[in-house]
Chain A
Amino acid sequence: MASGIRDKVVILGAGCSRFGERWDCGAEDLLIESFTEALSDAGIEKRDIDAAWFAHHDDMTGMGKGGAPLSVALRLPNIAVTRVENFCAGGSEALRGAAYAVASGAADIALAIGVEKLKDVGFGGLPPRYPGSLTPLWAPSGSNAGNFAQLASAYCAKHRIAPTELKRAMAHVSVKSHDNGLKNPKAHLRRKITLDQAMSAGMIAEPLGLFDCCGVSDGSAAAIVTTPQIAKSLGKTDMVSIKAMQVSVSNGFEAQGNGWDGSYFHTARVAAKKAYNEAGILDPAKQIDFMEVHDCFSITELVTMEDLFISQEGRAYRDVLDGRFDAGGENPCQIDGGLKCFGHPIGASGLRMLYEMYLQLLGRAEERQLRTPATGLTHNLGGEPAMNVCSINILGLLNG
């Protein structure tokens, strides 16, 4: 098995736009916002970047296909720009491309950047998807909410939990994220909610109510990566290093095989094992200090705690209710507010998670700073429970 890229690549700089309903901005403006911050943070010039990976998903409200929209928006010096799209995990894919380029020696410094401008669609919700010409002939007429909501019915059935008990835990997930998002000036939704509000909100897709769903936002995030040696030569002392970078993609086992029970993410378990192996983590519950996971819906975050082997199987709802993932808990999760408060500008989300890792590990997270975290994990998911892409990255201080 490949040895991976542990400690071969560090984050030289990172940037993140303010997320929200950015009626005043186009995608180009959002890209400039995150890129300018990342470039300044890295302390380099544009000409120092050897190659770029650009995550961008939506065709309807987007910038068009290919790498040129990024190159033009940032006036990059005719370097290679690769547009990547892997459902909602595109941001992490961009980082993977850039990191692998650096790890291989093909690039000294590489840019990963993602953007989505969802709020030009004209209604609340995601733009329509066109999943090819054959799938729509048979796949259900549903939504992301309805697909993820099914985790709840299967989880309750498997673990014999009363739906109201699970709903309470799901509500706690959202209340906790809103508490965290309140402290983040870049978050979209910045207000507290109560457990009662979350539990009694209007139904979107049973049992997911309004507050079980993440927001829809515009945003961009960026990271500039290089080798530890180059970072050092540029004067960096404290460095956030990539400890592991793993992606697992469904092959039909869940949707077409006969072995999946619908209550968890098969790919997340595969990717998590590989990532822990790459990073040398033996006891994730003790060694992962904080997490940014793909909380597109409250139930996603809840079952993910088990898929990441942080909670024991069938216990995540108890751990949630016990406050284990709250800001003051053992394994704080979504300390930046998560997708819940940032919304989910698809191409940007994976890099937004990385941005929080970077700030927290360097002690720069201000009001929401955790006490001396050494290792963090991002979990970026695309697709739906039955067919998806799961990216797991582990970040830590170099030599940490």
Chain B
Amino acid sequence: MPVVGITGFGVYVPRRRLCRKTVAEAQSWLAPGLRSIGTGERTIAGWDEDTITMAVEACRNCLGPGDDRSRVGAVLFASTTPVFIDRLNAGVVAAALTLDEAISAGDLSGSRRAGASALLQALDSGSVARRSTLVVASERRKARAASSQELTYGDGAVCIEVGAQNVIARMLGRHTLTVDFVDRFRSAGAEYEYHWEERWAREEGYGVFVPKVIQAVLRDAQLSPEQIDKIILPCPFKGLAATLVQQAGLSRERVMDDHAGTCGDLGAANALFQLAAQLELAKPGERILVVDFGQGCEAFVLEMTADVVRFQPARSFADQLTQGVTERNYLRYLTARDLVDWEKGPKAEKDTRTSLSVLYRNRDMILGFVGGRHRQTGEVQFPATRIAVGDERGEVDTLDPYRLADRTGTVLSWSADRMALTPDPPNYYGMITFAEGGRLMMDFTDILDGEVKPGMEMRMVFRIKEIDAARDYTRYFWKATPVDERY
């Protein structure tokens, strides 16, 4: 029986970070209590990012740029803010990653511990012995203006690959408690959560379940408390995690920073997000305890193998953390998030209905960003067409599929357009010419004013193309964004 464990990881940290002080100051007349939590930053997804797009980016950081992804046999998508209730979110992620059709896929939701639950399901599954499973957790929660959640929540995603080849961390033990403890809830169709008193959640929830599950997981792993090197215990109450692990006999110094001050609470993605951040720094032999709270608790212990130092995600958590741009315009955040009823003008009346049959026929092109490469000349083009661009001989079907998602290009021409409808004007777009051939007039995203120049190097990211508000449908495509050297 091959050893199954974690074989890779990657996170996605949105580039924009909301300055909490800005919000606390803007709202202090209404909610003076916000000042006490008005320090640091939280990650905020752009208007064109949701749990699917962030999941795709996390998976890309885990998988790397290679075209061959045949080793992946399953995708598990975990979120309490999935984009679709009836359309497999994991299926959209798989299509964007150009994974095989012959894979399994599933969505998990229902609790803020859904990410940890998905990882344990993958580790339990016998099928990972043959092909790996991408466990991807992603969260983008909506919080009312002037609520404490507006400051404490964060957006982001994490992907953990589980398999039997090149295992970097194996599981030593696990324990799960499932208790219908309702410190908060959000019913189907509701936009916002409802919360019960924090003191009760702290004492009767975390205070009871966490020590209990830690004792049980140590027993399962046959480990004593001092054999745990690092503890991941996401907890919204400052200092509580340290107190609780100490009660369970562990050292409070071994509780890792949960990045609440820089990223915020990523909900169902948080535990795995923190785990990935630690895996980046882990040493062989290290043991990490992960505890995730939500209608009970998930707990598991991982032990790093010698290979842990050999894996590096395409874009590391550490790099992404330092590549943020601070948002100090609270109204821009509220507008991009559609938290104010802003005037979109007559352009918003344009119908953006998507033909689902057209999308299906062109799913590789639209979701996977697959163009074509001429078998004889090697010329790359997008979209792929049955008659190649430049054909003079009347030949048909001369192109092979060619992925552009992981190719970089440069700006040939561009504009910043104030006529285009976007929640974040102006809309930047232009002609990108790819380094290895091919070109496309495409939207840009995550642009700073004044930074676009002809010749600038760009990489591709999976984003929301348009939201069809009349039908509650999100359309996706790829956009160009400057490569990271600009920071």
Write 9 A-B pairs (CB below 8 A) sorted by A numbering. A138-B383, A151-B413, A154-B431, A252-B389, A253-B390, A256-B382, A256-B383, A257-B381, A258-B433
Contact with B along A250-279 (1 / 0, CB 8 A): 011101111001110000000000000000
Q: Which of B442-476 contact A (CB under 8 A)?
A: 442-443, 454-455, 465-466, 475
Pair B465/A255 contact, Cβ less than 8 Å:
no
Pair B430/A204 contact, Cβ less than 8 Å:
no
Pair A140/B441 contact, Cβ less than 8 Å:
yes
- The listed residue with most B CB atoms (<10 A of its CB), out of A153, A208, A261, A263, is A153
Q: Which of B314-367 contact A (CB under 8 A)?
A: 345-347, 349-352, 354-355, 358-359, 362, 365-366
Given contacts A134-B358, A255-B441, contact A140 B427 (CB under 8 A): yes
Given contacts A153-B413, A257-B389, A258-B433, contact A138 B366 (CB under 8 A): yes
Stretch at the interface among A110-118, A122-130, A234-242, A367-375: A122-130
Give the distance in Å from the alpha carbon of A255 to the alpha carbon of B443 in the complex: 14
Give the distance in Å from the alpha carbon of A144 to the alpha carbon of B422 in the complex: 16
Residues of A within 8 A of B358 (CB): 133-134, 137
Residues of B within 8 A of A49 (CB): none
Give the distance in Å from the alpha carbon of A134 to the alpha carbon of B418 in the complex: 24
Query: A141 on the interface (CB 8 Å rule)?
Result: yes
Q: Which of B380, B439, B454 contacts A157 (CB 8 A)?
A: B454
Residues of B within 8 A of A252 (CB): 381, 385, 389-390
Residues of B within 8 A of A257 (CB): 379, 381, 389-390, 439
Residues of A within 8 A of B347 (CB): 128
Pair A256/B439 contact, Cβ less than 8 Å:
yes
Pair B465/A150 contact, Cβ less than 8 Å:
no
- The listed residue with most A CB atoms (<10 A of its CB), out of B415, B427, B430, B442, is B415
**Minimal beta-carbon separation of B446 from chain A (angstroms):** 15
Pair B381/A141 contact, Cβ less than 8 Å:
no
Pair A137/B475 contact, Cβ less than 8 Å:
yes
- The listed residue with most A CB atoms (<10 A of its CB), out of B352, B412, B442, is B412
- Listed in ascending order, the chain B residues whose CB lies under 8 Å from chain A are 345-347, 349-352, 354-355, 358-359, 362, 365-366, 379-383, 385, 389-390, 412-422, 426-427, 429-431, 433, 437-443, 454-455, 465-466, 475, 477
User: What are the 7 closest A-B residue pairs judged by CB atoms, nearest first?
Assistant: A146-B417, A143-B419, A150-B413, A140-B429, A149-B415, A262-B413, A157-B454
**Dominant secondary structure at the A interface:** loop
Given contacts A128-B350, A137-B354, contact A150 B416 (CB under 8 A): no
Pair A255/B415 contact, Cβ less than 8 Å:
no
Pair B413/A137 contact, Cβ less than 8 Å:
no
Pair B346/A206 contact, Cβ less than 8 Å:
no
Residues of B within 8 A of A203 (CB): 416, 418, 426
**Minimal beta-carbon separation of B467 from chain A (angstroms):** 11
Pair A204/B429 contact, Cβ less than 8 Å:
no
